[in-house]
Structure 1
């Protein structure tokens, strides 16, 4: 498994393939505690040593399950990231019979409500509460989570709070995680972030991160973690009705994915393997984050990561007009 240290100023290591823990927080459908533990164990057995979670995922369930699975491991043997920006406030009188949280995407009882808070005190409180849920002594990376509509507060209060936590040694590296590139590029230009997490914007079907974000990261010696490499399903299983960014894929994108699939199959490679490998071809990308809810999904991702992909495959994708020379779609 490939290992990289984030940026040029941190000592935080990550593996090229990382485990996204939203699934074990009951994303969309319930996952039993045994299945969740088996998924984390399978990731460990596959050599994955970077695990990502957030309070948002299952109203803290993801953090609790991930912490329980990792606590018995040597603490210096893995890297853990979580996020700040949403505090979890108990709903008075709530219990297990309360309505579910599926409106936010998670099959858990709605015992808490999410409160946006990118204030300095809110960030520090979020980190302290995450440490309690995780049951660990430290967090290696903290990302500001989806600050899209909170830019001023994020830059003037939340980010300086992260800098103080890093200086105190409470966290090892800091950054922001979003589904867009513009504000992440601003973080790279205006702050001393170590890493940014970019979801869905550097894939075989969307290379918008190539315009500014990735060149900026490379020029400044910062790292990028890439999530959403399957664009929520289309690049994992291209077929009519497949989803792209959580909606039914438009016909033009479905056609492009099917054409890519035909090319990769000529080389005996599933499209999802090419989707996973593609971001790692850029020097600024430190890790590809793949969400998993079962041991089988983890093992599949690890097997895809181990597949050798010939240079001719990428050359043919370019020749077919599916990728241009710099990787962008034609």
Structure 2
């Protein structure tokens, strides 16, 4: 079991990413995703200290289980925390009821998944990713990955992989292990083509599915303006100017920059799904509308002619 083709729902936003999201808003976002035909949902314990898993599980509880695919992640184990305060230092507007502990050991992977299944209200998930093992490569490859292989053989999970914001280690997973799918966030977008150099060719060669996250690079490609964020920090002037040029070209061809950004990610043959993070029903509907918008070949050509895309990009 891998991920459905098309648009997927990234569930970090409904767990209060940067600003609070109510239960009603979160439920409405998931309901809108279902209404628009989205059948792949991605979550993680990291998102809102388990809140994303709880909210997503509750919103999908009455949906036919064989009609959707759900992925979660391991590598950050949650431990109770009684110190009070909030979790905004880690990006989530939720009470700091737990603390995250990096743990890619075999025992940690199993315990983290068991806790995630309980929060989701499920007895199995379709995909499990090792989550951001950047600084824990030895433990992830030596213990975490074999633990996922065992869980897959036991039928607790359908597919296994890794999810990261870099391509080098994901390429290593693709070449050196038997992963089914990898989640690459922010490294294959209109502004960052780095996955083309290693990850995507390797995935094609090995028959590994690629899920793309961060299609808007955390905001800049959704709404390029002064103060917009790129990879969760203020966008450099050079990239803002580049995004504004892309927006101008897209609008000249009767589409939005958001539509071009999503279409770009989806066009590569290795890519099966493009995740969009949404925190409201309105955002879900907008993303679904943009994803369904065809991008004229002339738009890609003008972007190439302007030096904004390489000749290998969509045609």
What is the correspondence of 1:69-218 to structure 2 with a 5 Å cutoff?
69-91=59-81, 93=82, 98-218=84-204
Aligned to 1:273: 259
Q: CA deviation at 1:243?
A: 1.3
CA distance in 1: counterparts of 2:236 and 2:182, whole angstroms: 28
Contact 2:12/2:47 (<8 A) preserved = yes
In the alignment, which residue of structure 2 is the partner of 1:289? 275
User: 2:4 is matched with which residue?
Assistant: 14
Q: Are residue 41 (structure 1) and residue 31 (structure 2) matched?
A: yes
Contact 2:276 2:287 in 1 (8 A): yes
Name the counterpart of 2:40: 50
Gap regions ≥5 residues in structure 1: 1-10
Pick from 16, 38, 53: which aligns with 1:63?
53
- Higher mean C-alpha displacement, 244-253 vs 296-305: 244-253
Aligned to 1:260: 246
**Contact kept? 1:185, 1:212, Cα under 8 Å:** yes
> Which stretch has the larger CA shift, 244-253 or 268-277?
244-253
Contact 2:200–2:270 (Cα < 8 Å) also in 1:
yes
User: In structure 1, what is the equivalent of residue 290 of structure 2?
Assistant: 304
Aligned equivalents of 2:58, 2:169: Cα separation in 1: 34
CA deviation map 1:197-242 (0-9, x unaligned): 0000000000000000000000111111000011111111111221
> Secondary structure, in 3 states, of the residue corresponding to 1:28?
coil
Distance 1:304 1:265 in 2: 13
Distance in 2 between the 1:108 and 1:77 partners? 31
Distance in 1 (alpha carbons) for counterparts of 2:109 and 2:3: 23
| Residue 13 (structure 1) shift | 4.1
Contact 1:207 1:327 in 2 (8 A): no
| Alpha-carbon displacement from aligned partner over 1:275-297 (angstroms, at most 9, x marks no partner) | 01101110000000000000000
Q: Which stretches of structure 1, 4 residues or more, deviate above 3 A after TM superposition?
A: none
Calculate the TM-score normalised by the size of structure 2.
0.98
The secondary structure found in structure 1 opposite 2:189 is coil
CA contact (8 A) 1:228 1:289 kept: yes
Change beyond 3 A, Cα 1:13–1:247: closer
Question: TM-score, normalised to structure 1's length?
Answer: 0.94
8 A Cα contact 2:2 2:180, kept in partner: no
Q: Is the 8 A contact 1:280 1:288 kept in 2?
A: yes
CA distance in 2, matches of 1:15, 1:186: 24
Matched, 1:324 2:310: yes
Which residues of structure 2 form unaligned runs of 5+? none
Asked if the contact 1:15/1:48 (under 8 Å) is kept, the reply is no
Shift of 1:137: 2.0
